[in-house]
């Protein structure tokens, strides 16, 4: 048996690019063209096995067709219960994402007002107010960070709402692998010896044998 020739193929146009990981060494899987004794096929392999001579990783090789079929199976499991997924996302928006930083900003604002009132009193009494000023500066920095986080959360809410609408538009079962659907739904895939673990962007995790 000769060593198969593997030609690395790196492209972000594939939805699985950079989201498939090895369950043994935690490195990423890469799409490669495999020529084994004249038999050509596209496979996904742990990059440690490709780029790290002398480093042993027992991770298995998956043909692209095999990987896509397992992805399709995982997606259909989610789509079969998509109403539950949508409900989780909508709950996150209304109860978590929408309130977290609003409450934090309000609390910081009250602390700043309290310190500013104290500063005025200490100034009028000709007392040393340097520590109060430092505290105000620190609170203002916290406020800036919280405001930045709030903007990020709003962007996250918008992305989640977009994903909800996208999921609603999908059928309960898909019959063909779809790059766009994979990119919209799946956060991470981990390859183990006898199964794959799928982490969806909704937070749901699914184990698929194969």
**What is the predicted pLDDT for the residue at 5?**
42
CA distance 53 to 169: 47
Taking alpha carbons only, the member of 208, 163, 203 closest to residue 62 is: 208
72 and 94: one domain? no
93 shares a domain with 50: no
Query: What does the alpha-carbon distance between residue 12 and residue 24 come to, in Å, rounded to a whole number?
Result: 24
d(CA 165, CA 199): 20
pLDDT of residue 155: 74
Q: Are residues 114 and 158 in the same domain?
A: yes
Confidence at residue 74, expressed as pLDDT on a 0 to 100 scale = 93
Residues 128 and 187 in one domain: no
Q: Is residue 99 located within the same domain as residue 25?
A: no
Distance (Å, whole) CA 137 – CA 142: 9
Give the chain's residues under pLDDT 50.
Answer: 1-10
Largest CA distance in the chain: 90
Tell me, yes or no, whether 9 and 35 share the same domain.
Answer: yes
Q: For residues 123 and 156, state if they share a domain.
A: yes
Q: Are residues 87 and 163 in the same domain?
A: yes
- The CATH number for 108's domain is 1.10.287
Per-residue pLDDT at 40: 87
pLDDT confidence of residue 157: 75
Count the domains in the chain: 2
Q: What is the pLDDT of residue 6?
A: 43
Task: Clarify whether residues 132 and 69 are in a common domain.
Answer: no
The answer to whether residues 87 and 111 belong to one domain is yes
DSSP 45-79: EEHHHHH-TT----PPPEEHHHHHHHHHHHHHHHH
Instruction: Please give the full DSSP string across 76-143, using - where no structure is assigned.
Output: HHHHHTHHHHHHHHHHIIIIIITTHHHHHHHHHHHHHHHHHHHHHHHHHTT---HHHHHHHHHHHHHH
Q: Which domain range does residue 127 map to?
A: 83-168
- What pLDDT is stored for residue 46 in this prediction? 94
Give burial (CB, 10 Å; 0-12/13-18/19+) of 126. exposed
Let me know whether 162 and 195 are in one domain. no
pTM value? Answer: 0.64
CB-facing half-sphere around the CA of 109: CA atoms within 13 A: 7
Q: What is the DSSP string of 154-180?
A: HHHHHHHHHHHHHHHTS-S---S--HH
Residue 66, pLDDT score: 96
């Amino acid at each position: 048996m000769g060593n198969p020739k593997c030609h690395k193929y790196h492209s972000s146009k594939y939805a699985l690019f950079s989201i498939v990981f090895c369950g043994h060494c935690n490195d990423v899987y890469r799409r490669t063209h495999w020529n084994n004794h004249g038999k050509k096929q596209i496979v996904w392999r742990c990059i440690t096995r490709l780029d790290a001579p002398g480093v042993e990783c027992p991770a298995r090789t998956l043909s692209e067709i095999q990987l896509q079929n397992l992805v399709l199976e995982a997606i259909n499991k989610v789509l079969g219960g998509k109403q539950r997924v949508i409900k989780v996302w909508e709950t996150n928006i209304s109860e978590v994402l929408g309130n977290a930083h609003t409450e934090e900003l309000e609390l910081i604002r009250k602390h700043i007002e309290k310190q500013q009132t104290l500063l005025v009193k200490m100034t009028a009494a000709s007392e040393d107010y340097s520590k109060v000023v430092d505290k105000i500066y620190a609170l203002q920095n916290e406020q800036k960070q919280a405001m930045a986080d709030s903007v990020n959360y709003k962007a996250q809410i918008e992305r989640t709402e977009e994903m909800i609408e996208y999921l609603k538009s999908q059928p309960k079962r898909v019959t063909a692998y779809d790059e766009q659907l994979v990119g919209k739904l799946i956060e991470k895939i981990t390859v183990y010896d006898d199964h794959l673990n799928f982490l969806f962007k909704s937070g749901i995790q699914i184990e698929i044998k194969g």
